[in-house]
Structure 1
């Protein structure tokens, strides 16, 4: 690919709700040279190729479990998180290897316009697939166990797996992470969150609050699956236990069960809350309070969770679910949740900035003339999940072996 100028009916620049009518993007290969009004870009870079489309930065799926893709549709929901985890563990024990489902998941991500990812993993199975596809982001390698012996074994296994893993390639990092307050030794949870980057499942279910406050409820019995219990987190809530150790490179995934104190703690931590609405509805039938999170200024991103709990890997499909649940929120204000590349260690993804290669996708209008391009995008490429056309690929430049 050499120099190219592409014009479109609408151009979203990313990270905000800013959109340019009759806009254009100048490219040098996959690198953005300039973004602006078509007449300005053509004056500087020459005549543009005109597309009947909406142009936008490639998207970010900030929470996935690609290695569970073979369990799509095989783990029933509606039972609450703790019982659902038992069903998931049982299904995975019967069929532990994702096989070709990983290749299909990568194709699903590409059709959904995804260039960066927050992949939560026990096996690093998705690493070579992501590297071959040129998808950036972070693989959060989870550790489990409450007893000293169990957590030490989990950490050692993670280190051994990392040593055997292939080079992550440009734009991918690997970071050890705790799974949750109900499954990871509190000392190790704190250490990994402080070290960062890290991701933790947090406040996904009201049972976490009961577990932390009273050592009771469904997670107390679930915890016994992880071996002898020598320590137990003590706090008002899961957020109260984890948030003192979290920072700007932390992901708090789900945030469904939050009270006013939890929201204050999260805001103070500057962690990003990752919303996975379709998974939350499947597992427990509840959604995070998005209007309150926005009002409190908490950094946000969106993820799909695994195909065991969500029907696809499309970030815009998650936004479509949020748009249905919260019609008072403008779709234009939802789009930035799918452009938060910084949250997963891919800061160039999600914004058409000159000098970067964030990935550029087109949403063909096919003759439609929407008055609200954001609402049209969320409906057609979110709810209906039409595939995007790639104009330029993301080209990340850094990688890291792990922390």
Structure 2
């Protein structure tokens, strides 16, 4: 059975870098749905001529969203870790705070956080995990994407042991449909150089990169600096961890590929931006976390001007107030007013970066997840601006019209 819904505005969605016309808002538009599958999207008159009379909705219709970087398993730590002193100081506080975790606390919090993701319109995630415990709550919430299973190890021996144990855990996990699990490094300061490069060469992965100026000193000066003091306080040794380069980006430039996510990328100079663009890696911005931990934001305009593929994430609830991608875009819109909302929205539609290319575009034959953002009587002239600066900034809940569903169907 075909259901036709019409709205004052339909945003068909578009991946970052797509021609502007691809994601242009449709006034008085409509979407035809067969179950969760989109059969048509376009002007209301055209869709009704093919599929019959539409059900009118007072809403903006759009494809479901992507949260390209989070740590669902840390959801119980909301409000536990103070920010503002930089990443090494934050990590020290984080490690101490995590020891307070009570049995069962992470599981309960993950379930609630996954439901919050759904209310925020998220259909696909890039979830970073040490435990794989997020698989079940994400699947229960109907959320797909990629689980990045981190492998740590300061020395080559410890790294190989950790990698083997992680492989066994993944083999036993049996990921549900729509969620793929891949091994991944964490950061240049937490995995020995040989192991980090091996993980990046192995396939898709996510890397926390250039999140704090202390990383640059860690790579370029030969002094561990703030990270050395941090690890000394934690009783860890650094002798096998050293990775060298002019900057963190320079240190991994030969390994980064288009199937990698470079997360944060706050401390970039012009040469770093140029190098990142040449790698083809997707940069995932988490501005609320960056502002909370170190009081800085990424160089959005420079990244856009360089043509770097971008996505948006929230990071964990330990450093961000919520898991809502549109709230991240609302902050960027306020802080970088030269970048219009219509150019920001594709950052939340980059499903391809997470192995979920069906998410982020209302394409006939696909099941990307379809959202309605209730207008409640508002009549915005610019629906993208309203969606980011009002609906997203206020973190209003979406209504789901159709759920994301990876499957045999492909866009027609």
Verify same fold: TM over 0.5: yes
- Give the structure 1 partner of residue 358 of structure 2: 348
Deviation for aligned residue 1:229: 2.2
Higher deviation after alignment, 220-229 or 63-72: 220-229
Deviation for aligned residue 1:228: 5.3
Higher deviation after alignment, 30-39 or 192-201: 192-201
Structure 2 residue 62 is the aligned partner of structure 1 residue 63: no
Superposed, 1:233-312 pairs within 5 Å as 233-312=243-322
Mapped to 2, the partners of 1:24 and 1:277 lie a distance apart of 33
Higher deviation after alignment, 268-277 or 147-156: 147-156
Q: Secondary structure at the match of 1:73?
A: coil
The CA RMSD over aligned residues, in Å, is 1.3
Query: Structure 2: any 5+ residue segments left out of the alignment?
Result: 15-21
- Give the structure 1 partner of residue 96 of structure 2: 90
- Give the structure 1 partner of residue 128 of structure 2: 120
Is the contact between residue 182 and residue 223 of structure 1 (CA under 8 Å) also seen in structure 2?
no
- TM-score (structure 2 length as normaliser): 0.94
- Give the structure 2 partner of residue 36 of structure 1: 42
Is the contact between residue 358 and residue 367 of structure 2 (CA under 8 Å) also seen in structure 1?
yes
Deviation for aligned residue 1:129: 1.1
Structure 2 residue 211 is the aligned partner of structure 1 residue 212: no
Structure 2 residue 368 is the aligned partner of structure 1 residue 358: yes
Deviation for aligned residue 1:231: 4.5
Higher deviation after alignment, 312-321 or 373-382: 373-382
- Give the structure 2 partner of residue 183 of structure 1: 190
Deviation for aligned residue 1:133: 2.0
Structure 2 residue 230 is the aligned partner of structure 1 residue 230: no
Deviation for aligned residue 1:191: 1.6
Superposed, 1:96-111 pairs within 5 Å as 97-111=105-119
- Give the structure 2 partner of residue 156 of structure 1: 164
Mapped to 2, the partners of 1:331 and 1:138 lie a distance apart of 26
Is the contact between residue 275 and residue 303 of structure 1 (CA under 8 Å) also seen in structure 2?
yes
Match of 2:144 among 124, 136, 148: 136
Mapped to 1, the partners of 2:228 and 2:157 lie a distance apart of 19
CA distances 1:26-76 after superposition (whole Å, capped 9, x unpaired)? 111100101100000000111000101100000000000000000001111
Q: Secondary structure at the match of 1:247?
A: coil
Is the contact between residue 186 and residue 233 of structure 1 (CA under 8 Å) also seen in structure 2?
yes
Is the contact between residue 116 and residue 137 of structure 1 (CA under 8 Å) also seen in structure 2?
yes
Mapped to 2, the partners of 1:273 and 1:67 lie a distance apart of 22
Q: Secondary structure at the match of 2:397?
A: coil
Q: Secondary structure at the match of 2:106?
A: coil
Deviation for aligned residue 1:265: 1.1
Structure 2 residue 392 is the aligned partner of structure 1 residue 382: yes
- Give the structure 1 partner of residue 18 of structure 2: none
Deviation for aligned residue 1:222: 3.2
Mapped to 1, the partners of 2:222 and 2:69 lie a distance apart of 28
- TM-score (structure 1 length as normaliser): 0.96
Following TM superposition, the consecutive aligned residue runs of length 4 or more in structure 1 with deviations greater than 6 angstroms are none
Structure 2 residue 87 is the aligned partner of structure 1 residue 81: yes
Q: Secondary structure at the match of 1:244?
A: coil
Structure 1 residues 383 and 157: CA distance shift in structure 2, 3 A: same
Query: Structure 1: any 5+ residue segments left out of the alignment?
Result: 399-403
Is the contact between residue 145 and residue 227 of structure 1 (CA under 8 Å) also seen in structure 2?
no
- Give the structure 2 partner of residue 401 of structure 1: none
Deviation for aligned residue 1:130: 1.2
Mapped to 2, the partners of 1:111 and 1:301 lie a distance apart of 19
Mapped to 2, the partners of 1:329 and 1:140 lie a distance apart of 30
